[in-house]
Amino acid sequence: MMMDDGFFWFRRNRLVIPGVRGEHLFMHVTDTHVNVCDEAGTDEEREKAEKQEEMWKTFKERFARANGEPYGDEQRITTLEAFEKQLALAEELRPEALLLSGDNLEYSHPAGERYLTKRLGEYGGKLLCVPGNHEDQTFGSLWTPGVKTLDFDGFRIAAVDDSRKMVSRDDLDALHDLCREGIPLIVLCHIPLSTPCCREECKEKMTGMNDYFYIDGETADELGREFVSLCEKNDAVKAVICGHVHGYYAMELAPGKKQIIGSQGMAGAVHLLTVAGD
């Protein structure tokens, strides 16, 4: 079984939402940073892919060591091999949805877009995919502007582009409309949010990060602050799922409201989220 592959390591969370019927399993993967060059690529594209791949051999290990996370020979594979393993695991686990929270590609490049479009199109289940800061805000057919949603029995997951440390006015309006419907909402995005509650809970870890790593509800621009406030204070939002920092963190945005940050998928990290009723 893929579950026995030494490449993978898992973090599990259980989110209880009143009114949800049954149990719903989701597989969350982030920061796979795929580098790829195909036969249609140029020599320049191939050289860049090879250069970036070589860089991540060092950087992904540094992130793992800094966060006290598993790293050994099993994780010393290419970003492309790692992504293929993650898709194979998703096919085996058959979660209710595969959630990809950005930096799926190391950078936006035609071969990468062709590869992701093909492979995610072949995936046999539901999925939501958002762009990360390493990607263009529109890349191929994988992402177009606008909030994307999947509905389940008693709750909804909404994919939101915050890859530029803010959310567009149109997307914020759409999120407000979703919240007014009163259906419990899990927000999937790329960049984590910083609130007084999570800074207090993860004081040492949060203070070790500069503002590149999160959207601060106090110092971000107007649209960024509004996004943080909505997720922090609106009762319809039950959790935020994101990535970006290449380390696993689980903290409270507000009392009883979780933010779960997945670690680097290219180094085998898998976040399994179970959503159930009370």
Tens-digit pLDDT profile for residues 84-104? 999 999 999 999 999 999 999
pLDDT band for position 201 (50/70/90)? low
Domain extents in the chain: 2-276
3-state secondary structure the chain: CHHHCCCCEEEEEEEECCCCCCEEEEEEEECCCECCCCCCCCHHHHHHHHHHHHHHHHHHHHHHHHCCCCCCHHHCCCHHHHHHHHHHHHHHHCCCEEEECCCCECCCCHHHHHHHHHHHHHCCCCEEECCCCCCCCCECCCECCCCEEEEECCEEEEECCCCCCCCCHHHHHHHHHHHHCCCCEEEECCCCEECHHHHHHCHHHHHCCCCCCCEECCCCCHHHHHHHHHHHHCCCEEEEEECCCCCCEEEEEECCEEEEECCEHHHCEEEEEEEECC
pLDDT band for position 27 (50/70/90)? very high
pLDDT band for position 2 (50/70/90)? low
CB 126 within 8 A of CB 98: yes
Rounded mean pLDDT, 248-271: 96
Mean of the per-residue pLDDT values for the chain? 92
- pLDDT at position 38: 81
pLDDT band for position 5 (50/70/90)? confident
CB 178 within 8 A of CB 185: yes
pTM value is: 0.95
Reply yes or no on whether the pLDDT at 211 is more than 70.
yes
- pLDDT at position 45: 86
CB 75 within 8 A of CB 264: no
Which of the two residues, 167 and 137, has the higher pLDDT score? Answer: 167
Reply yes or no on whether the pLDDT at 203 is more than 60.
no
CATH class of the domain comprising 2-276 = alpha beta
User: Of all residues in the chain, what percent carry a pLDDT higher than 70?
Assistant: 95
- The tens digit of pLDDT for each residue in 263-274 reads 999 999 999 999
Distance of CA 141 to the CA centre of its chain: 18
- pLDDT at position 52: 92
pLDDT band for position 176 (50/70/90)? very high
Question: How far is the C-alpha of 16 from the C-alpha of 274, rounded, in Å?
Answer: 8
pLDDT band for position 68 (50/70/90)? very high
- pLDDT at position 70: 95
